[in-house]
A and B are shown apart, each in its own frame.
Chain A
Amino acid sequence: MDLRVPSGWIFTLLGLILLGMSVFAPETRAALTTENVNLYSGICMLVFGLFLLLLAWRATRSNP
C-alpha cells in the first residue's frame, strides 16, 4: 500500500468539507477571529491532499 493514497484522500476530503463550510456557512466564526479560517485552512488541506495523490499517481505510472 502506498501511504500517499489514503493520506492524500483524507486531506482532499477534509479540504472539501472545510471549503463547503466556508462557502455555505460563511458567517461561521470563532469568538476571536474575523477571518474565514475554514476557507484558508480548507484551501491548504485540499492542495496538500491533491499533491500527495499526484505523487502517488506519478509513482504508479513510472513503475506499474
Chain B
Amino acid sequence: MKLAPVDYVILALYFAFVLGIGWRLRKRISSSGDFLTSGRSVPVWITSLAFIAANLGALELVGMAGSGAKYGIMTAHFYWLGAIPAMLFMGIFMMPFYYGSKARSVPEYLKMRFDEKTRAFNAFSFAIMTIFASGISMYALGLLLRLVLGWSFTVSVLASAAIVLAYTFLGGLTSAIYNEVLQFFLIVMGFAPLAIVSVIKAGGWQGIVSRLPPNMTHAWRYMGSPTDNPMGVEIFGMVAGLGFVLSFGYWCTNFLVVQRAMAADSMSAARRTPLIGTIPKMFLPFVVILPGIAALALSKMNVGYAFPMRAGSPNYDLVLTTLMAKFYPAGMLGVGLTGLMASFMSGMAGNVTAFNTVFTYDIYQSYIRPGAPDRHYLTVGRATTVVGVLLSIGAAYLATLFNNLMDLLQLVFGVVNAPLFATFLLGMFWKRTTAHGAFAGLSIGTAAAILTLSTTVAEGNGGWIAHLHTFPSQMAQNFWIAIIAFTTNFVISIVVSMFTTPRTDKDMEGLVYGLTKVPHDATAKWYERPAPLTVMVVILLLILNIWFR
C-alpha cells in the first residue's frame, strides 16, 4: 500500500483536531473529579457514541473483518447476541445502582456493596488487564503499519501513544470521550465506503450468497451441531456462553465502558447511554464485518483480488488492509487510514482513562495515601496517565519478545472476566448476598475458570494439568469456561451468603434492588424513556436476526 501526499495531509489534519480538542478542554479541569470522571457533565448523545467507540479499538476493527472472512455472518453475533442484550440490561436494570450509588468506579461500587477485599480483587485485576490490553493493541497496530506501509514499529507506537497521552493528559476523561465521538464518526466514514464498494464488486449480497457455502451467510441455521458451522460452536454454548455470561460480564461490569455511562449528566442520561448506543452498535457489523465476507467472495471471482496468505494458510489480519489497498484511491485511502488510527486511539484512550481512575481512587486513595486534599489526587491522576501510557508501551515491547503472549493474554482476559457477572447480578438483585459470599464466589469462580482451561484442550491450547475433554474450537472452549466459571461463582456466593450475616437494609440503600428508588420518567418524551427505546431496539434486532437467519 502506497500513500500519496494528500493521504498524509488528511492524517495530519486528524491529529491536529484531536490535539485541538484536548487543548480546548484543558480549562475544564480544576478537580480530580473533572479529570477522572468528567464531573458527571457530558450530554447523552456524546456518552452513547463514546460507549461504543471505547470498545471499537483497532484490534476489533481488523479482527472483525478477518472473522467475517473466517466465520461469515455468524461473526455478527458478537454484536447482536454478544452485546445488545447486555447493553439493554445494563441501561435498564444496572445503571440505577451504578449511577445512584455515586460510586466513581466499578470497583468502588463493589466496596460500597460488599467490602474492601472484593474491591481490591477487582481493582487490581482490572488495572493489570487494562495495561496489557492497551499494550497489545499498540503492538498489533505497530506490526500492521510496519507490514502494510513500511513504517518503523518504534515510530508508529511512540507517536500514536504520544498523541493519546497529550489529549488525555490535557483534558482528562472529557477529552477522551469527546475525541471518541469524533473517532467513531471517522471510523464509520472511513470504512462504510469500503463495505459499499466491496459488496457491489462482489455482486451485492445475492452475489456473495451464491459464491460462498451456505453456512457463511446464515447466522442461525447451522448452529445445531458444532461440526456444521465454521465457528465450531453449538447453539447452547453460543447463547449461554457468549450471549449471556461473556457479554453480560463485559458490557455490564467492565469499567472501561461503564465509565462512559457514569460520566453522563443525569441519571436518565446515564440509563439511556447504553440504550441509545445499541442503535449504532446493531448496524456496525455492516461496516466492520461485511467487507471481510465480501473479500472471501471476491477471492473466488477472478477479479484481481487474491486472499492474503502467509506460509500457505490464510492471513486474516490483512483482510481489511488488502481491501483498502485495492478499493481506495489516494484521498479516500488517507481517510481509511485515519479511521484505523482513530479506532486505535479510541481504544487506547478508553483503557488509559479507565486505568487512571481505578488506580487513583481504588488503589492509591484507598491503600497508599487516603485523606489527602483533592488537589493531590488530581496530580496523581495526571501522573498515572503518563505512567499508564508508559506501561502500555512496555507491554507492547514485551509482546514483541514473546510470540504467544497475545494468545495467552486473550485466555487470561477470558478467565478473569468469566465469573464476574454473577457477583454483580447477586449483589444488585439479592440483598441477602454477603461480602464473604461475594468474595468466596468470585475467587472460587476464577479458580474454576483456570481449572477448566488447564484440563481441556482446543486447537492446541490449554490442558496443562490434564486432558479431560477436547473442544471443537477455541471459541467453544472460551464459551464453556465462561459458563462453568459463572455457575460456580453463582452457587458458591449463594451458599456462603446463607451461612454468613448480611448487612442491614439501611446500609444498602441505593445499592440493591428493592432498597433503591428507580426513577420513573413517565412525564418525559417517549424517546427519553428507557422502555419505549428498548422495545424499538428489540424489534429492530429481531428483524436483523430473522433477515440473516
Listed in ascending order, the chain A residues whose CB lies under 8 Å from chain B are: 1, 3, 6-7, 9-11, 13-14, 17-18, 21-22, 25, 28-33, 35, 37-38, 40-42, 44-45, 48
8 contacts between A and B (CB under 8 A): A6-B24, A14-B189, A17-B6, A18-B331, A31-B327, A32-B298, A37-B332, A41-B189
Contact of A37 among B181, B304, B327 (CB under 8 A): B327
Q: Chain B contact residues (Cβ within 8 angstroms of A): what range?
A: 20 to 34
Q: Does B197 contact A (CB under 8 A)?
A: yes
Q: Is the CB of A6 within 8 A of B335?
A: no
- The answer on a CB contact under 8 Å between A45 and B181 is no
Q: Which residue of B lies closest to A22 (CB)?
A: B331
Task: Give which listed residue, A6, A21, A37, contacts B6 with CB less than 8 A.
Answer: A21
Beyond the given pairs A3-B178, A30-B326, A41-B332, 6 more chain A to chain B contacts, judged by CB atoms under 8 angstroms and listed by A's residue number, are A21-B330, A30-B328, A31-B326, A38-B332, A42-B331, A45-B335
Q: Contacts A14-B10, A30-B325, A48-B189 hold; do A3 and B46 have CB atoms under 8 A apart?
A: yes
Q: Flag B192-216 by CB within 8 Å of A: 1 or 0 each.
A: 0100010001000000000000000
Give every chain A residue within 8 A of B25 (Cβ-Cβ): 1
B317 to chain A, nearest CB (A): 20
Report how far A21 CA is from B5 CA in the complex, Å: 11
Nearest Cβ on chain B to A49's Cβ, whole angstroms: 10
B327 to A30, Cβ gap below 8 A?
yes
- B189 CB contacts on chain A under 8 angstroms: 11, 14, 41, 44-45, 48
Which B residues lie within 8 Å of A29 (CB)? 329
Q: Which B residues are CB-close (under 8 A) to A28?
A: 329-331
Checking A3, A7, A38 against B329 with a beta-carbon cut-off of 8 angstroms, the contacting residue is A38
- Which residues of chain B from 322 to 355 have any CB-CB distance to chain A below 8 Å in the complex? 325-333, 335
A21 to B, closest residue via Cβ:
B331
Which residues on B sit within 8 Å (CB–CB) of A44? 189, 193
- Closest chain B CB from A26 CB (angstroms): 10
Please name the 10 residue pairs, one residue from A and one from B, whose CB atoms are nearest each other, closest first: A21-B331, A28-B329, A38-B331, A32-B326, A30-B329, A41-B193, A10-B17, A31-B326, A18-B331, A37-B332
Determine the chain A residues whose CB is within 8 A of the CB of B24 once the complex forms.
1, 6
User: How many angstroms between the C-alpha atoms of A22 and B6 in the bound complex?
Assistant: 12
User: Which residues of chain B are within 8 angstroms of A7 by Cβ–Cβ distance?
Assistant: 181-182, 185
Which of B10, B329, B330 has the largest count of A CB atoms less than 10 A from its CB? B329
Chain A residue, CB-CB nearest to B184: A7
Instruction: Tell me if B's interface is mostly helix, strand, loop or mixed.
Output: helix
| Cβ distance A59 to chain B, nearest Cβ, rounded Å | 11
Q: How far is the CB of B357 from chain A (nearest CB, A)?
A: 21
| B97 on interface, CB distance cutoff 8 Å | no
**Cβ of B14 < 8 Å from any Cβ of A?**
yes
- B197 with A6: CB separation less than 8 A: no
Among residues of B, the one whose C-beta sits closest to the C-beta of A3 is B178
Residues of A near B193 (CB, < 8 A) are: 37, 40-41, 44
Task: Give CA–CA (A31, B322) in the complex, Å.
Answer: 11
Q: Complex Cα distance A17/B185, Å?
A: 17
User: How far, in angstroms, from A42 to B330 measured CA to CA in the complex?
Assistant: 12
Q: A58: shortest Cβ distance to chain B, in Å?
A: 15
Contact (Cβ within 8 A) B9 A17: yes
Q: Do A37 and B9 touch (CB < 8 A)?
A: no
- Nearest-neighbour CB distance to chain B for A3, whole angstroms, equals 5
Q: In the complex the two chains form, is A6's CB within 8 Å of B332's CB?
A: no
Q: Which residues, 304 to 323 on B, are CB-close (under 8 Å) to A?
A: 304-305
Question: Is B21 an interface residue when CB atoms closer than 8 A count as contact?
Answer: yes
Inside 8 A of B329's CB, which chain A residues have their CB? 21, 28-30, 33, 37-38
Are the C-beta atoms of A6 and B20 separated by less than 8 Å?
yes
Distance between Cα atoms of A13 and B189 in the complex (Å):
13
> Which residues of chain A come closer than 8 Å to B21, judged between CB atoms?
1, 3, 6
A37-B182 contact given A1-B24, A32-B304, CB 8 Å threshold: no
Interface pair A37/B330, CB less than 8 Å apart: no
What's the least CB distance linking A41 to chain B, in Å? Answer: 5
Check if B10 sits within 8 Å of A17, measured CB to CB: yes
Measured between beta carbons, the chain B residues less than 8 angstroms from A25 are: 330
- Asked if B13 is an interface residue, CB under 8 A from chain A, the answer is yes
When the two chains form the complex, which single residue of A11, A21, A30, A37 contacts B185, counting CB atoms closer than 8 Å? A11
Q: Could you tell me the distance between the alpha carbons of A42 and B13 in the complex, rounded to whole angstroms?
A: 15
User: Given A17-B6, A30-B326, A45-B189, is A10 in contact with B331 using a C-beta cutoff of 8 Å?
Assistant: no
Q: Is B14's CB under 8 angstroms from A10's CB?
A: yes
Complex: A32 Cα to B301 Cα, angstroms = 12
**Chain A residues near B197 (CB-CB < 8 A):** 33, 35, 37
B149: min CB distance to chain A, Å: 16
Chain B: CB-nearest residue to A38: B331
Chain B min CB distance to A54 (Å): 16
